[in-house]
Structure 1
């Protein structure tokens, strides 16, 4: 995996929260996103996580070449992030804010509030061989970048 040197590539090489447009209306709010605009990649796959029992976590892996955008459509949850040895923690509870997670980022989603729905948008189609499920293997690969 190569990492580009231009400013845009460097900007999108970091985990960050992104606020999406919110159109307020007495009849209810509306939020939207567009590929290559609000999220920095073309959309290839969309999936959602729901009915997560209390105390359970989802994820606990990294993707070799997949970037993600994670949004709480309902409720909320936490996202624990590791980029190499660097750790960060995000509490996602606002439906017009999401978390951009670039490739080669270890992430775990947990602390789901009851009836939460987690939407995940990615820039690759599903392939099992793009997952790194062992943290020590992840660190080994990350340190070679």
Structure 2
């Protein structure tokens, strides 16, 4: 790691990875703290006991971190919350991956599929019918939804500071629709990243296998519906970013 400023508090038990940058007056306040490689901790931030700061993460000035931080995440506030993700594939550690402007595709005839440039991930613009009786959106399987689902699950009542997903699948594919409210979806293929805000029931995101997925910034009323191509299989999950990158390297 880079040199530790004299005014930082870093207990001997802390595990600090290579390439870590600590700003002035950083406090690692307790046992069991792990700071992974390439992380950046800005001035006067406080890291709580047992917290892991993920690979390449950025803790902004004055943040009080009481929960572990995912790889490449940006956190701020007290208590700290994820406010974005770093795209470390781009020079200069720009603070945000590309955010997809879904409104820019409004001119396309529906149904439509738009590549997101992250593996085979894609944004789907579903058909929408509205009249005096209300609105309806529909997608046919498998012509308009890219696989035949084997199961579905719904995510709701998520506190806004909580993250969901944070894993990849070796084989399972997923299709995400936010039926109510909004949430942000991060897609990462180990090289490129993008984010999509799902805020309408006629928008879907296809997340194929071997894509690291995270959902965050849930509105209080958000209901996220997820179709999966396979039944639940514990061995299909890659639950750490390091394991995901290692699997990509083996396949590459």
The TM-score normalised by the length of structure 2 is 0.52
Structure 1 Cα separation of the partners of residues 152 and 143 of structure 2: 17
In the alignment, what sits opposite 1:50? 156
Structure 2 Cα separation of the partners of residues 110 and 79 of structure 1: 7
Counterparts of 1:63-142 in structure 2, within 5 Å, are 63-142=169-248
Query: For structure 1, which runs of at least 5 residues remain unmatched after alignment?
Result: 1-12
In the alignment, what sits opposite 1:6? none
> 1:95-115, CA deviations, whole angstroms, 9 ceiling, x for partnerless residues?
101100000000000000111
> 1:18-62, CA deviations, whole angstroms, 9 ceiling, x for partnerless residues?
011111111111112222111111110111000001211101000
In the alignment, what sits opposite 1:8? none
> 1:74-132, CA deviations, whole angstroms, 9 ceiling, x for partnerless residues?
00100111102211111111110110000000000000011100000011011111110
Structure 2 Cα separation of the partners of residues 54 and 39 of structure 1: 28
Structure 2 Cα separation of the partners of residues 79 and 91 of structure 1: 6
Q: SS where residue 185 of structure 2 aligns?
A: strand
User: Could you say what the CA RMSD is over the residues aligned between the two structures, in angstroms?
Assistant: 1.3
The 8 Å contact of residues 84 and 143 in structure 1, kept in 2 or not, is answered as: no
In the alignment, what sits opposite 1:9? none
Q: Which runs of 4+ in 1 moved over 3 A?
A: none
Bigger radius of gyration among the two: 2
Query: For structure 2, which runs of at least 5 residues remain unmatched after alignment?
Result: 1-118
In the alignment, what sits opposite 2:69? none
TM-fit CA distance, 1:67: 0.7
- Pick one of 6, 20, 31 that aligns with 2:137: 31
Structure 2 Cα separation of the partners of residues 143 and 41 of structure 1: 27
- Pick one of 125, 143, 167 that aligns with 1:61: 167
Q: SS where residue 227 of structure 2 aligns?
A: strand
The TM-score normalised by the length of structure 1 is 0.88
Say how many residue pairs are matched: 134
Q: SS where residue 140 of structure 1 aligns?
A: helix
User: Using CA pairs below 8 Å that are at least 6 residues apart, which structure has the higher relative contact order?
Assistant: 1
TM-fit CA distance, 1:144: 2.5
